[in-house]
Chains A and B, each alone.
Chain A
C-alpha cells in the first residue's frame, strides 16, 4: 500500500467524518436559530401533483427502511450476525435490502426526471437541490452496486464497518477495518459523509423537523398574547 493511499485513507476515514459531523452540527444549529424560515423542504407537490407520487413515495419509504437497516446493524451488529448465521435468513435479509434499495433508486430517478422535465418544478429547484440529487444518486447507486457486486454486506458491514464506525464514535478512529475495502464501498462511505456535511445546507433539514409532537398534542392550537391561560 503506497503511503499516498494510506494518507488518503487517513483523510477520508479518520479525519473527514469528524469534519462532516462538525459541519453538520454547527451549521444545523446556526440555520435553525438564524434562518428558521428556511428550515424545511420546499414542497413542489402544488406545482405538479401526479408524477410527484411516483417519486416521493418510493424514495421516502425506500430510504427510510434502508437507513433503518444501517442503523440497526450499527447498534446491534452481533444480533445481525447471528440472524445471518442461517443462509436462508441471510438471503431473506439481503433480498429485502436489494428490493428496498431498487425501490429507493426508482423513486430517486423519478424525482430527478420530474425535476428535469417539469418547467414549473424547475423554477423551484435550487443549485443545492441539483447537487443534492447527484449526491443521493451516487449514494443509492453505489449502495446497490455494493450489494450486488460485494455481497453479503449485511454480514461484513456488521463485522468490519461497524467496528470502524464505533471507533469514530469513541473518537479514536481505527481505519484498519476498512482500509482494504473495495473502491465502491469506500465511495459509498465517503459519499455518505459528504451528504452529512452537505445536509444542513440543503432541503434535507426537513428530516430534523419531522412533525413529532403531532400524535400527542391537543387537536386545536390556541396562542394567547395577553393574559396567559391554558388553551
Chain B
C-alpha cells in the first residue's frame, strides 16, 4: 500500500484550489517566507542530534567510563584489575554482570557478592549506554590489552613515598586555580570546597572534598579517579581537557594533606558573600538616588501644600 502523507496530500489539495480560484496570480507577486517549514527543519535537527555515548570508540569509552575504578594490569582500584578477566568468569556471566551489576548481586550470585565484599561494599554503577553489544566489545578490548606487557589502561603510577610540602603547596595552587590547569579545565575551586580554602570557601556545586581522600580509599584510587573523572558533571568537562599526571600528583598530595589535617566538611552557604552583596546593592541604591537626585517629583502637590 502506498504510504499516506497527510501533509503532502493537504498541500496538493491546497495548490489545486489555488489554481482553481486563480489565487496563484494574485499572491505570487508577494512570496511569503516559509517560516513554518524552516522551523520544522530546525526542530528536527535539534531532536536528531541529541548526542548519546553510543557511537563512541570502545577505547575512548573504556577510558571515560571504566578507568576511574579499573585498570588492566595496574592492580586493584575500587574495582578489580581487569587483566585476564575473561579467564576468571565466562563471557555470558560477565556481560550480564556488566550490563546490570546490581541484578546479579540482588539475585544472590556468590561471585558477585564476593566482589562486593572485596570492594568494601561499593557496587558498580550502571553505566549509561552500556548494552550487551558494548559489553562484548569491551571484553574483547580487555582481552586484547591483557596480553600486552603494559596496557594503555594500566593506570597511573603514583608514588608510595610521603609527599613533601612543596607538592602539597603546588596541589593547593592547582586546586584554587592560581596555577592554571595545563589543558585549560576549570579549577577545582569552581565547584568544590575544602575546609581550609579562602575567604568565602570553595564552590558548592560539587561535593565537599575535605575528606575525599578517605572516601576514595587512598592515593591510588583518587589518582585514577582524577585521571578520568566519571561523574555526570565532570566527565563531559574533563573529557576534552584532562588533568596531567603532574597535576594529579599535586592534587592527591594536597587532598591527602587536607584529609589528614582532619578538617570538617561544611555545606552552609557563605553568609559573608550574601551580606557583602547586599551591602553592594544598598550602595547601588544610594548611588542612583544621588545621581538622579534632581529628578522630577511633583509640582502641583507641593504648590497646594499637600504632603509629598
Give chain A's interface residues, CB within 8 Å of chain B: 1, 6, 10, 14-15, 17-19, 21-22, 26, 29, 49-50, 53-54, 57-58, 61-62, 78, 81-82, 84-87, 90-91, 94-96, 98-103, 105-106, 148-153, 155-156, 158-160, 163, 167-168, 171-177, 179-182, 185
Instruction: Report yes or no: A95 in contact with B232, Cβ–Cβ below 8 A.
Output: no
Q: List the 10 closest pairs (A to B, CB-CB), nearest first.
A: A99-B280, A155-B190, A98-B277, A180-B232, A159-B186, A172-B49, A102-B281, A18-B46, A103-B281, A85-B177
Known: A95-B276, A98-B274, A181-B233. A87 touches B177 (CB 8 A): yes
B89 part of interface (Cβ distance < 8 Å): no
* 30 A-B residue pairings within 8 Å (CB atoms): A22-B42, A58-B288, A78-B184, A81-B180, A81-B187, A84-B190, A85-B177, A85-B178, A87-B176, A94-B273, A95-B277, A98-B276, A99-B277, A99-B279, A99-B280, A103-B285, A150-B205, A155-B187, A156-B205, A159-B185, A159-B237, A171-B42, A171-B45, A173-B50, A174-B51, A175-B50, A175-B51, A177-B233, A180-B231, A180-B232
Q: Interface residue count for B (Cβ, 8 Å)?
A: 57
Q: Contact: B190 with A159, CB < 8 Å?
A: yes
**Chain A interface helix/strand/loop/mixed:** helix
State how many angstroms separate the Cβ of B36 from the closest Cβ of chain A: 8
Contact present for A152 and B190 (CB under 8 Å): yes
Q: Which residues of A contact B285 (CB under 8 A)?
A: 54, 58, 103, 106
Asked if B186 contacts A87 (CB within 8 A), the reply is: no
- By a CB distance below 8 angstroms, the chain B residues around A86 are 177-178
DSSP class of B's interface residues: helix, strand, loop or mixed?
loop
Say yes or no: is B80 at the interface (Cβ < 8 Å to chain A). no
Set of chain A residues within 8 Å of B128, measured between Cβ atoms? 1, 6
Contact check, B180 vs A85: say whether CB atoms are below 8 A apart. Answer: yes
Shortest CB-to-CB span from A17 to chain B, Å, is 8
CB–CB A58/B284 < 8 A: yes
CA distance A173 to B46 in the complex (A): 7
B280 A155 Cβ-Cβ under 8 A: no
Considering the chains assembled together, what is the distance between the CA atoms of A99 and B279 in angstroms? 7
Beta-carbon contact of B232 and A151 below 8 Å: no
Whole-angstrom distance between the Cβ of B108 and the nearest chain A Cβ: 25
Query: In the complex, what residue of chain A is closest to B232 when comparing beta carbons?
Result: A180
Across the interface, B232 reaches (CB within 8 A) one of A105, A153, A179, namely: A179
User: Which residues from 57 to 115 on chain B have a C-beta closer than 8 Å to any C-beta of chain A?
Assistant: none
CB-CB under 8 A from B280, the residues of chain A are 95-96, 98-100, 102-103
B284 and A53 within 8 A (CB): no
The answer to whether A149 and B292 have CB atoms under 8 Å apart is no
- 8 Å CB contact of A29 from B35, B47, B279: B35
